[in-house]
């Protein structure tokens, strides 16, 4: 740190100039960004050129078909359209449909050009859209002048509607042409010209991407993913089904046949096989994928519906069996519960496998197919060896009693509150008198105190 | 004081050397000679002993900021610099430098805005990492003590009256040598 007292200053800007020169690097960086932007513009230009080429093709086809135009006439007409577009500041894509319309009506290129000029003048003079006017002009040329007369009432008594309109409106389009619009159109045309050079390169690039082996490569990857997921899911499902069948064949055989378990598994395998088949046997992936998604959704909907039916059937059957056995042999109830839960476990395991498949499909479809099947809850029958109160509810409650080896009394509590009932007596102040008053009020309303109060 | 600015000193020095080797040296010597009395005034204004006891070398045996540590507290140098700057086009040609750090600190103490300091510094690089530290009241106390002893802001007041005169004289020297070059060129 120093203290500096200036006595005389000098001016020398060479250092600053040098520093500014150093910004050349920055300019290069800005140049790089400009190149990136230019790439974006080139793609836009290619799009414009593509649209322009399509529009030209349509008009050419129309001229050849309707007006028997030669290639020279088509080229001349295209030049006319371009000139008109630049002079009037109207994009050529707006002119070509009108030209097509007039070619259809007049069957003559020159006459179509005359009608186009009339249309543009009339549109500029009236402020009506060029499309509306061109339709009316085309109708007028064909003999139906009412639309044009409605638009231009001054033609009501005209003998030569189009001739009078042309005289009336001549030169309006050129006068109304906006210099900025002209500039924009010129820029658009320039863009299309640039795009016409870029488009072949892009087309070639797309051709490369669409080569069979590139497509096959993508298809193979997808097939492998789907096949792997399917294999894992099928293996899990089969193991689960085998476990269930091995443990409970004697009881479940009838039920499984009835509810169509096998059908569900077969359906899942069929759906997976269908997906694999669709992925491998099609030539264009996008279409295949769309169809596959639709088919799979249908399959899954069917499975989900079937599963709901199965669940309902199981519930009814198990409830019936449970009610039949519970009153006779507690041992069998315990066994039944284990059995039911064993089945539930097996089914839930199977559902886990199914959900794995669905998760795989969700991943493969990037979340567009999102399905999930809920698992069924475990059965838990209440044990009452130590006594207890079962509160009423619709359909009653299945219980296990006497499982501790000693006798138990099962007494209905008809009209009684029972020990477990809660009696609410509200005292709003910590005052002994208030407590007494509240108890008295309860006795008045209910006849007596609950027996538990006497203990 | 409006800046007195001279132009194309580099060109002048180049021409002086081309005209006669040693002319540049003579010009610099003359300019510095004019600044010498100013520098001398500054030297006299600088306290001969540490204005505060905390600045004494015996209280700062290893620090570089003790009064007169490293270089004399009253060291003043006159510099004639023709180098350019990348940040500004106008730079000092002749300047008087008070080079002792502690002298400079004592001189500028209290010249700031004296706004309330932040309690913690902004983050700064430290030993390969970054850190911040609490701001103590040491600086404020130092400034208050220096002010109470009239031991701050002593450099500029000592030369304030003689600066314009010195500046004009140095400019005359530059002009004199510039005329010599012009005469020779004509």
Please list every residue in chain A whose beta carbon sits closer than 8 Å to the beta carbon of residue B77: none
**Interface confidence (ipTM) of the complex:** 0.86
Residue B97 sits at the chain A interface (C-beta within 8 Å): yes
Looking at residue A257, its pLDDT comes to 56
| Residue A18 sits at the chain B interface (C-beta within 8 Å) | yes
By Cβ distance, the residue of A2, A8, A10 closest to B98 is: A2
Taking the Cβ of residue B10 and every Cβ of chain A, the question of whether any pair is shorter than 8 Å is answered with: yes
Give the one of A4, A9, A19 whose C-beta lies nearest to B4's C-beta. Answer: A9
E-only strand ranges, B65-113: 76-80, 90-98
Q: How far is A195 from chain B (nearest CA, A)?
A: 46
State the Cα–Cα distance between residues A282 and A291, nearest whole angstrom: 10
Show residues of chain A in contact with B89, CB under 8 Å: 11-13, 15-16
Assess B167–A contact: CB distance below 8 Å, yes or no. yes
- Whether A8 and chain B come into contact, CB under 8 Å, resolves to yes
Cα nearest neighbour of B166 on chain A: A7
CB < 8 Å to A11, chain B:
5-8, 89-90
Does the beta-carbon distance from A2 to B101 stay under 8 Å?
yes
Residue of B35, B86, B103 lying closest to A7 (CB–CB): B35
pLDDT tens digits along B104-157: 999 999 888 888 778 899 999 999 999 999 999 888 899 999 999 999 999 999
Q: Give yes or no for B94 touching A (CB within 8 A).
A: yes
* Residue B36 distance to chain A (closest CA, Å): 11
Angle formed by the axes of helices A285-326 and A330-364, to 10°?
170
Q: What is the pLDDT at residue A334?
A: 63
Name the residue among B85, B96, B99 with its Cβ closest to that of A7.
B96
For A412, the token pair is: 């209905």
Q: Would you give the DSSP letter of residue A383?
A: B
Please answer whether residues A119 and A147 qualify as being in contact, where contact means their C-beta atoms are separated by less than 8 angstroms: no
Residue A4 with chain B: CB contacts under 8 Å: 92, 95-98
Minimum-distance CB partner of B155 among A3, A15, A19? A3
For B109, residues 6+ apart whose C-beta sits below 8 A from its C-beta are: B142, B143, B146, B147, B152, B153
The minimal CB distance from A9 to the residues B84, B92, B96 is found for B92
**Between A and B, how many residue pairs show a Cβ–Cβ distance under 8 A?**
104
Name chain A contacts of B99, Cβ cutoff 8 Å.
2
Sign of CA dihedral B143, B147, B150, B156: positive
Contacts of residue B82, defined as CB under 8 A and 6 or more positions apart, other chains included, come to A10, A12, B9, B10, B13, B93
Q: What is the DSSP string of A74-95?
A: HHHHHHHHHHHHHHHT--HHHH
Measured over the CA atoms of residue A130, residue A132, residue A135 and residue A141, the dihedral's sign is negative
Contacts of A23 in chain B (CB under 8 A): none
The runs of H, that is alpha helices, within B127-154 are 138-148
Residues of chain A positioned with their CB less than 8 A from the CB of B36: none
Q: How far apart are alpha carbons A58 and B9 in whole angstroms?
A: 75
Q: Are B21 and B186 in contact (CB under 8 A)?
A: no
Interchain contact A5–B (C-beta under 8 A): yes
* Alpha helix ranges (H) inside A260-386: 261-281, 285-326, 330-364
DSSP-assigned letter for residue A399: -
Shortest distance, CA A18 to any CA of chain B (angstroms) = 7
Walk along chain A (455 residues) and give the pLDDT tens digit of each residue.
Answer: 788 888 888 888 888 777 777 666 556 656 655 655 566 666 777 777 777 888 888 888 888 888 888 888 888 888 888 888 888 888 888 888 888 889 888 888 888 888 888 888 888 888 888 888 888 888 888 888 888 888 888 888 888 888 888 888 888 888 877 777 777 777 777 777 777 776 777 677 666 666 666 666 666 677 777 777 777 777 777 777 666 666 555 555 555 555 566 666 677 777 777 666 656 665 555 665 666 677 777 777 777 777 777 767 666 666 665 555 444 545 555 666 677 777 777 777 777 877 777 787 777 777 766 766 676 666 666 556 666 777 777 677 777 777 666 777 777 776 544 444 555 656 655 566 777 777 777 777 666 666 555 44
**pLDDT, averaged across chain B:** 89
Helices assigned H by DSSP within A143-284 = 146-151, 161-169, 172-176, 179-209, 212-259, 261-281
* CA-CA-CA-CA torsion sign (A297, A298, A303, A308): positive
| Chain A residue with the nearest C-alpha to that of B99 | A2
Backbone phi, psi, residue A332, to 5°: -70, -30
CA angle A287, A293, A296 (to 5 degrees): 135
Distances from the Cα of A38 to the Cα of A34, A44, A45, A53, A382, angstroms: 6, 10, 10, 22, 76
Cβ separation A12–B84 shorter than 8 A: yes
Q: Measured between CA atoms, how close is A40 to chain B, in angstroms?
A: 38
Whole-angstrom distance, CA of residue A192 vs CA of residue A91: 11
Per-residue pLDDT reduced to its tens digit, B1-20: 445 788 888 888 888 888 88
Which of residues 116 through 145 in chain B touch A, CB cutoff 8 A?
Answer: none
Terminal CA-CA length for chain A: 95
Asked if A3's CB is within 8 angstroms of B93's CB, the reply is no
User: Cα dist. A426→A419, A422, A435, A438 in Å?
Assistant: 20, 12, 8, 7
Distance from CA of A224 to the nearest CA of B (A): 50
For an interface test with A, which of B88, B103, B139 has the most A Cβ atoms less than 10 Å from its Cβ? Answer: B88
CB contact (8 A) between residue B155 and residue A5: yes
Residue A13 and residue B89: Cβ atoms within 8 Å? yes
Nearest C-alpha of chain B: how many angstroms from A11?
A: 5
pLDDT at B29: 94
Non-local (6+) Cβ contacts of A42 within 8 A are: A194, A195, A198
Q: Among A4, A8, A13, whose Cβ lies nearest the Cβ of B97?
A: A4
Q: In angstroms, rounded to a whole number, what is the distance separating the alpha carbons of residues B49 and B67? A: 7
Q: Residue A153: name the closest of A132, A126, A116, A117 by CA.
A: A126
Report the alpha-carbon distance of residue A330 to residue A328 in Å, rounded.
Answer: 7
């Amino acid at each position: 740190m120093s203290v500096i007292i200036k006595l005389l200053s000098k001016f020398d800007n060479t250092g600053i100039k040098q520093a500014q020169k150093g910004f050349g690097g920055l300019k290069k960086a800005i140049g790089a960004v400009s190149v990136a932007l230019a790439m974006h513009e080139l793609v836009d230009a290619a799009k414009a050129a593509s649209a322009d080429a399509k529009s030209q093709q349509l008009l050419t086809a129309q001229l050849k078909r309707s007006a028997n135009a030669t290639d020279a006439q088509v080229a001349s007409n295209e030049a006319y359209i371009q000139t008109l577009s630049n002079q009037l500041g109207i994009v050529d894509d707006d002119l070509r449909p009108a030209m097509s319309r007039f070619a259809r009506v007049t069957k003559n290129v020159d006459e179509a050009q005359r009608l186009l000029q009339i249309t543009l003048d009339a549109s500029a003079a009236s402020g009506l859209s060029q499309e509306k006017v061109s339709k009316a002009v085309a109708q007028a040329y064909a003999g139906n002048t009412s639309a044009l007369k409605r638009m231009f009432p001054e033609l009501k008594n005209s003998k030569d509607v189009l001739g009078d309109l042309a005289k009336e409106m001549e030169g309006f389009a050129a006068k109304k042409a906006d210099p900025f619009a002209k500039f924009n159109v010129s820029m658009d045309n320039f863009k299309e010209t640039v795009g016409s050079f870029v488009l072949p390169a892009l087309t070639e690039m797309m051709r490369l991407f669409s080569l069979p082996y590139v497509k096959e490569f993508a298809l193979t990857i997808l097939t492998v993913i789907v096949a792997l997921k399917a294999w894992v899911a099928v293996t899990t499902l089969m193991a689960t089904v085998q476990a269930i069948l091995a443990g409970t064949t004697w009881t479940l055989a009838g039920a499984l046949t009835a509810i169509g378990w096998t059908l569900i598994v077969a359906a899942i395998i069929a759906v997976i096989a269908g997906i694999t088949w669709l992925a491998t046997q099609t030539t264009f992936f996008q279409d295949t994928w769309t169809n596959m998604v639709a088919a799979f959704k249908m399959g899954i909907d069917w499975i989900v519906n079937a599963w709901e039916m199965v669940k309902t059937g199981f519930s009814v059957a198990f409830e019936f069996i449970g009610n039949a056995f519970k009153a006779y042999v507690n041992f069998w109830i315990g066994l039944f519960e284990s059995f039911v839960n064993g089945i539930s476990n097996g089914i839930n395991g199977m559902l886990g496998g199914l959900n794995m498949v669905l998760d795989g499909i969700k991943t493969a479809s990037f979340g567009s197919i999102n399905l999930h099947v809920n698992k069924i809850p475990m059965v838990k029958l209440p044990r009452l060896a130590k006594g207890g109160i079962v509160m009423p509810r619709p359909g009653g409650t299945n219980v296990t009693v006497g499982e501790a080896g000693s006798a138990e009394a099962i007494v209905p509590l008809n009209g009684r509150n029972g020990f477990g009932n809660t009696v609410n007596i509200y005292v709003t102040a910590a005052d002994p008198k208030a407590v007494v008053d509240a108890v008295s009020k309860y006795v008045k309303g209910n006849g007596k105190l609950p027996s538990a109060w006497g203990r | 004081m409006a800046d007195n600015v001279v132009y194309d000193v580099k060109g002048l020095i180049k021409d002086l050397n081309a005209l006669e080797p040693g002319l540049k040296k003579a010009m610099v010597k003359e300019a510095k000679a004019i600044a010498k009395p100013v520098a001398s005034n500054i030297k006299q204004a600088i306290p001969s002993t540490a204005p505060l006891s905390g600045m004494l070398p015996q209280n700062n045996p290893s620090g570089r900021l003790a009064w007169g540590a490293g270089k004399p507290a009253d060291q003043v140098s006159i510099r004639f610099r023709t180098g350019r700057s990348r940040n500004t086009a106008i730079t000092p040609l002749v300047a008087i430098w008070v080079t002792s750090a502690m002298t400079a600190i004592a001189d500028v103490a209290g010249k700031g805005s004296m706004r309330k300091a932040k309690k913690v510094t902004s983050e700064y690089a430290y030993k390969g990492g970054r850190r911040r530290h609490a701001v103590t009241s040491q600086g404020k106390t130092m400034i208050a003590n220096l002010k109470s002893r009239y031991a701050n802001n002593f450099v500029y007041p000592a030369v304030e009256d003689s600066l314009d005169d010195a500046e004009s004289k140095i400019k005359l020297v530059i002009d004199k040598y510039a005329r010599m070059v012009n005469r020779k060129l004509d």
